Amino acid sequence: MISIIDYGMGNLHSVYNALKTMGFDAVVTSEKEDIYKSKGVILPGVGAFPDCMNNLKKLGLTNVIKEIIFKKPFLGICLGLQLLFKESEEFGPAEGLGIFQGRVRKFPENMKINNEKLKIPHMGWNKISKKSDTPFLKGIPDNTYFYFVHSFYVECDDNLIATTTYYGINFVSSIYWQDTLFACQFHPEKSQKYGLKILENFANIAYGRNIK
């Protein structure tokens, strides 16, 4: 099965329903044994960075994530991307999981496109620009649109970057590591056809199947 980590925050059931609709076995869980036994792990997230970290700590899941993250396919979604880094400016500095070096920054005030001030949070459809090849993005054309809802973005080493997106600035919209870890700022479960394709790619990687 694929474990979707339940720590009290996140769009859990939309991810679960998408996987089940495509025929993949999944469970929403906060049980450590479920996570250890799973074929793959998804860390979703919606809410404030410090609250999410506190919930993970209370449930004893921070060490579990650190133990399994490079041992089995892993997908982070939205805040599930940001939590992988060392710290965030949100109500912070707030400590993250520290899986990767990097910092979560707030979008600058007064960003503009064509002299029009941009709203924060960045909410709605925007396109990704591929920077690296990864099997998680197989079948996803460059400049495909995905759905975003966020006020913060990740700054990290270039070797982690899978895609970037422009919203007043170019920001990291997804990362990958060694073809087993993928994390995205956008919401694949809300991004229709191509969002479902990313979830399908992840699930096939988790089950050791060929990606079509």
Residue 190 belongs to a domain: yes
Active site residue 13: no
Residues near 14 by Cβ (< 8 Å), separated by ≥ 6?
Answer: 189, 190
Q: Please say whether the beta carbons of 163 and 174 come within 8 A.
A: yes
Residue 49 belongs to a domain: yes
Q: What is the mean pLDDT of the chain?
A: 93
* Region 97-124 average pLDDT: 92
Active-site position among 52, 90, 122, 189: 189
CATH of the domain at 55: 3.40.50.880
Residue 146 belongs to a domain: yes
Give the DSSP H or E segment for 173.
Answer: strand 169-177
pLDDT digits (tens, 9 = 90+) for 133-186: 899 999 999 999 999 999 999 999 999 999 999 999 999 999 999 889 999 999
Active site residue 78: yes
Residue 199 belongs to a domain: yes
Q: Please say whether the beta carbons of 101 and 69 come within 8 A.
A: no
What pTM does this model have?
0.94
* Region 3-28 average pLDDT: 89
Residue 200 belongs to a domain: yes
CB atoms < 10 A from the CB of 43, how many? 27
CA 48 to chain centre: 15
Q: Which domain holds residue 136?
A: 2-206
Return the CA Rg of the chain: 16
Residue 131 belongs to a domain: yes
Residue 32 belongs to a domain: yes
Active-site position among 78, 156, 184, 200: 78
Rounded-to-10 torsion of CA 88, 176, 125, 95:
-10
Q: How many domains does the chain divide into?
A: 1
Band of the pLDDT at 198, cuts 50, 70, 90?
A: very high
Residue 212 belongs to a domain: no
| Residue 115 CB-density burial (10 A; 0-12 exposed, 13-18 middle, 19+ buried) | exposed
Active site residue 187: yes
Active-site position among 90, 156, 187, 200: 187
User: If phi over 0 gives left and psi between -120 and 50 gives alpha, with beta otherwise, what is residue 208?
Assistant: left
